[in-house]
Amino acid sequence: MLLLLLAYLGGVLTIVSPCILPVLPFVFSRASQPFLRSGLPLLAGMALTFATVATLAAVGGGWVVAANQYGRWAALVLVAVFGLALVWPGLADRMARPLVAAGDRLSQSAQGDGKPRVGASLLLGVATGLLWAPCAGPVLGLILTGAALQGASVGTSLLLLAYAAGAATSMAAALLLGGRVFAALKRSLGVGEWVRRGLGAAMLAGVAAIALGLDTGILARLSTASTGGIEQALVDRLGSEPQGGAMAMSGGPSMSMQGNGAMMAAAAEGAGPSMMAAGNAAAGRLPDQGEVPSLDGAVQWLNSPALTTAGLRGKVVLVDFWTYSCINCLRAMPYVKAWAEKYKDQGLVVVGVHAPEFAFERDAANVAKAVRDLGITYPVAIDNNYAIWRAFQNRYWPAHYLIDAQGRMRYHHFGEGKYAESERAIQQLLREAGTAATPVQDGLAQVAAQGVHQPADLGTVRSHETYLGYERAEHFASAEPAVRDRAATYTAPARPALNAWGLAGQWTVGAERATLAAGNGRIVYRFQERDLHLVLGPGTGGKPVRFKVTVDGQAPGEARGIDVAADGTGTVTDQRLYQLVRQGGEVRERTFSIEFLDAPVDAYAFTFG
């Protein structure tokens, strides 16, 4: 509702824009006639036509990008053309000529004998809408940007309609108040022209930044992922946003399942922590939990054409919500892969739904690489707009939902663990379906997880997920207070308390990450866990970044993680989770330090296990 209100108010303010100039003669041509039979139908036709034309443009741009990766460049070209049209009005005139000609013809037929007929006024409104659609540059350009790069939706149409209704409201006021308003509009057009050109320049700058790959660097903090501060406030009002385990992170819009702070009990089979109780026990008949939600809304599918709930009828379906830098998702992944392989010929379809937490996880190329690196062969939906997430009313990573052959939800489980229970639920639904070529066996998949996939050691849990961006940061212990969104020099704490951390060097602390701005820099953390992970990525430009890890001032040796050599050296090459420490002996309080030898580098969150 808030977005619709903002769009409506933006439409009201269109009355002071030079874009409204071609429309005004048509509007004021009805000023002398009864408003209800003449002015109101005209404005209604104008608003509906504008929303329809702009929606078709937005949907078309979104479809191009959904078709393939090259469509992203086609979308950028489209947005660049709209930006140029704002900067150079002559180009906008040429772009508008086909619709203007159509609007003129409709206008002439609608004028008739001048009598106030509702049908004629509505037709004149259609003509006016055709004139207005191509000239509503800033709004139409921004909607096209969002639809082309994020995917068009019903919400896009509603926002356009709200904008059109706002503009119609302001023009209705102009009709009722008369010529004095028209005179005031003329005086405002000079300032409005510069505003128009400024918006065009901003759009072109955005296109250049995305084309150069800066959308995963400088522009990442403006992402519409769950970590964007301003947009997250809007997402919170629109529905179920990504949330996490049982531990709330203060000030955080995305309380993910990555942390270990809320581990309540080991899974019965010793397979790792279970953040939330399973939706039901696998003993006895599984209850009916309702009709399966829609799988529509993904911006792209990997390993498969787009799947639908109707198309999956007759199959048992496991829907796995995950994101590739989530340690809990990575630890559950070997079991999901094992089930997909073991039961694929007996009627099970596994669908991974990748719902991003950090901005870099919205990049389809990053997700595709992660899918390849993890050896995932089952279908994966890239759910950047959280359409599937909201349809399932999901709030956790990882989350598993089981759907029977009749399309009914029968089981769900949130978090790691309960793998034996989940697999027995799969077996029960496969037996109910009765489509397996061979009898479904009771035996469980044998998984030997290694590296980051190995289950956590619950006996040593004392450190919890810690974010480095100011939106969710806690226990910051550098001598200097954190400065938001600009470079500052910090000093690392000499003796940090357990779970306290600090920066050393010149860093920029943003909403979701801390970025080493220049020179060498360090991050220090006092922890007690078997494993320490850190989500890292190369900064702007994507160049590899060398680092060196120490534990209590010494090279980690045998306590090194899989991404670190025994002498503590390593390199940040991709935006992902890095395992930096894995202790094999006594687990006690240690001081971890990572020194970066190059800049820039982005650090997002510590996770443990």
Q: List, for residues 413-471, the tens digit of each pLDDT value.
A: 998 888 999 999 999 999 998 877 677 878 888 888 778 888 877 777 788 899 999 99
Query: Residue 148 and residue 73: Cα distance in Å, rounded?
Result: 10
Rounded mean pLDDT, 472-497: 93
Domain residue spans of the chain: 2-212, 240-437+448-456, 458-608
Percentage of the chain lying above the pLDDT 90 cut: 40
Same fold, 240-437+448-456 and 458-608: no
Q: Which of 113-127, 195-209, 292-306 has the highest mean pLDDT?
A: 292-306
Percentage of the chain lying above the pLDDT 70 cut: 54
Query: Residue 167 and residue 47: Cα distance in Å, rounded?
Result: 8
What is the tens place of the pLDDT at every residue in 109-133? 544 444 445 555 555 555 555 555 4
Q: Following CA atoms 12, 14, 15, 18 in sequence, which dihedral angle do they give, to the nearest 10 degrees?
A: 180
Look up the CATH number of domain 458-608: 2.60.120.260
Number of H helices, E strands in the chain: 14, 16
What is the tens place of the pLDDT at every residue in 343-367? 988 889 999 999 999 889 999 999 9
Give the count of beta carbons closer than 10 Å to the beta carbon of residue 387.
21
Q: Which of 35-39, 89-93, 243-247, 560-564 has the highest mean pLDDT?
A: 560-564
pLDDT of res. 196: 55
CA distances from 273 to 270, 278, 337, 410, 425 (A): 8, 12, 19, 23, 19
Rounded mean pLDDT, 586-596: 93
pLDDT of res. 63: 42
One of 3.40.30.10, 2.40.50.140, 3.10.180.10, 3.30.1360.40 is the CATH number of 240-437+448-456, namely: 3.40.30.10
What is the tens place of the pLDDT at every residue in 205-245? 665 665 554 443 333 333 333 333 333 343 344 344 454 33
> Does this model's pTM top 0.95?
no
What is the tens place of the pLDDT at every residue in 131-151? 554 444 444 445 444 544 444
pLDDT of res. 265: 28
Rounded mean pLDDT, 43-49: 66
